[in-house]
C-alpha cells in the first residue's frame, strides 16, 4: 500500500458506506482491482477507516439526535443483536469472508435483485413512523437483526437496515437517518475491537496510511450522506440495485 491507494480506499469507503451498495464489498473489489494483497493490515485498514464515516455522522447529527436520550436508547437497543452476532462471528468474518470477492459479487447480485423486487411491491402506509424517538424497542431490536445480515460482505449494512425499517413501518427518511445513527456504535465497536487485536503490529508507515484513509473517508462521507438524503426525496433504491447488478455481472465477466 502507498498514500495514493490509501486515498482511493478512503474515497471508496466514504462514498459507499451509507449508500445501499456495500462499502465492505467495494473495498474488497477495489483491493482486487488495485492488486493490493489481502494482508492482515489491509483487512484491519478496511475496518478502521470506517471511523472517518462515523465522524461525519457525529458532525452532521450530533446536536440534533445524539444528545437525545430517547434516541440513544433506541440506537443502543438496535446495536445489541449486531454486537452479539459480530462478536460470535468475528473470526469467521476476518478469516473467510473479508477478501472473498466471490461472496461479494454474489451478495451484490442477489441483493440488487431483492431490492428491485422489494421496491416494486413496497407501498408506504399513512401510519408510517416519522419520528425516530417514536420507534418502539421491539422494532429497534429487529432493525438491529436486519443490520446483522450485513456481516456478509456485499450485502450492505445500509441496505439491510433501511429495508428492514421499511418492512417494519418506518418512513424512508426516518429509517435512513436511523441507519446513519446506528452506524456510529456499530462501526466504532467493529473498529475498536479489531484494533485492540491488531494495532500493535502496525508500523509507522501503515499508521500514516490509516490516518490518510480515515480523513479522506470522513470528507467524502459528508457528501455521501447529504446526497442520499436529497436522493430519497424523489427516488427509491432501484437505481442502486441496478448498479449492484451491473457491477457484479461486469466483475464476473472480466475479473
What distance lies between CA 95 and its chain's CA centroid?
20
Indicate the DSSP class of residue 49.
T
Question: Predicted confidence band at 110 (pLDDT cuts at 50, 70, 90)?
Answer: very high
Which DSSP helix (H) or strand (E) runs through 87? helix 69-88
Instruction: Say what the pLDDT of residue 20 is.
Output: 92
Q: Which three cell numbers stand for residue 16?
A: 459507499
Q: What does the pLDDT read at residue 118? A: 96
pLDDT for residue 76 is more than 80: yes
- Read off the pTM: 0.86
Give the distance, in angstroms, between the CA of residue 55 and the centroid of all CA atoms in the same chain.
14
The Cα 162–Cα 166 span in angstroms is 6
Task: Identify the pLDDT of residue 179.
Answer: 93
Residue 139 has pLDDT above 90, yes or no: yes
Note the pLDDT tens digit of each residue in 183-240. 888 888 877 777 776 666 777 778 898 889 999 999 999 999 999 999 999 999 999 9
The CA angle 242-165-24, to the nearest 5 degrees, is 50
Does residue 6 register a pLDDT over 80?
yes
| Sequence-distant (≥ 6) Cβ neighbours of residue 198 within 8 angstroms | 40, 41, 44
Which residues lie below 8 Å from residue 207, measured CB to CB, with a gap of 6+? none
Higher pLDDT among residues 236 and 45, named by residue: 236
pLDDT, residue 94, reads 58
Q: Where are the domains of the chain?
A: 3-254
CA distance 169 to 2: 45
Residues listed for the chain? 255
Which sign does the torsion angle of CA 84, 89, 94, 100 carry? negative
How far apart are the C-alpha atoms of 243 and 205, rounded to whole Å? 35
Which tens digits make up the pLDDT trace of 145-189?
999 888 888 888 899 999 999 999 999 999 999 999 998 888 888
Question: Which residue stretches of 89-232 are H helix?
Answer: 90-92, 101-121, 137-148, 157-167, 172-198, 204-231
**Is the pLDDT score of 37 beyond 90?**
no
Question: Average pLDDT, whole number, for the chain?
Answer: 87
> 16: burial class by Cβ within 10 Å (0-12, 13-18, 19+)?
buried
Q: In the prediction, which pLDDT does 141 show?
A: 96
Amino acid at each position: 500500500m502507498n498514500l495514493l491507494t490509501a486515498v482511493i480506499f478512503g474515497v471508496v469507503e466514504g462514498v459507499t458506506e451509507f449508500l445501499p451498495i456495500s462499502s465492505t464489498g467495494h473495498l474488497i473489489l477495489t483491493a482486487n482491482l488495485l492488486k493490493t494483497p489481502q494482508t492482515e493490515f489491509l483487512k484491519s485498514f478496511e475496518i478502521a477507516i470506517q471511523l472517518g464515516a462515523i465522524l461525519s455522522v457525529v458532525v452532521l447529527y450530533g446536536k440534533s439526535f445524539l444528545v437525545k436520550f430517547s434516541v440513544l436508547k433506541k440506537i443502543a437497543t438496535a446495536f445489541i443483536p449486531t454486537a452479539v452476532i459480530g462478536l460470535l462471528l468475528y473470526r469467521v468474518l476476518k478469516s473467510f469472508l473479508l477478501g472473498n470477492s466471490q461472496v461479494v459479487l454474489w451478495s451484490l447480485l442477489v441483493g440488487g435483485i431483492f431490492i428491485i423486487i422489494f421496491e416494486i411491491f413496497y407501498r408506504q402506509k399513512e401510519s408510517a413512523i416519522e419520528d425516530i424517538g417514536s420507534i418502539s424497542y421491539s422494532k429497534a431490536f429487529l432493525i438491529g437483526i436486519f443490520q446483522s445480515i450485513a456481516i456478509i460482505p456485499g450485502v450492505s449494512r445500509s441496505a439491510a437496515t433501511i429495508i428492514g425499517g421499511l418492512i417494519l413501518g418506518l418512513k424512508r427518511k426516518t429509517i435512513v437517518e436511523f441507519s446513519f445513527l446506528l452506524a456510529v456504535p456499530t462501526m466504532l465497536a467493529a473498529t475498536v475491537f479489531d484494533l485492540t487485536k491488531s494495532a500493535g503490529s502496525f508500523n509507522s508507515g501503515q499508521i500514516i496510511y490509516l490516518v490518510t484513509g480515515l480523513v479522506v473517508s470522513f470528507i467524502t462521507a459528508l457528501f455521501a450522506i447529504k446526497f442520499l438524503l436529497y436522493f430519497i426525496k424523489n427516488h427509491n433504491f432501484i437505481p442502486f440495485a441496478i448498479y449492484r447488478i451491473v457491477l457484479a455481472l461486469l466483475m464476473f465477466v472480466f475479473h
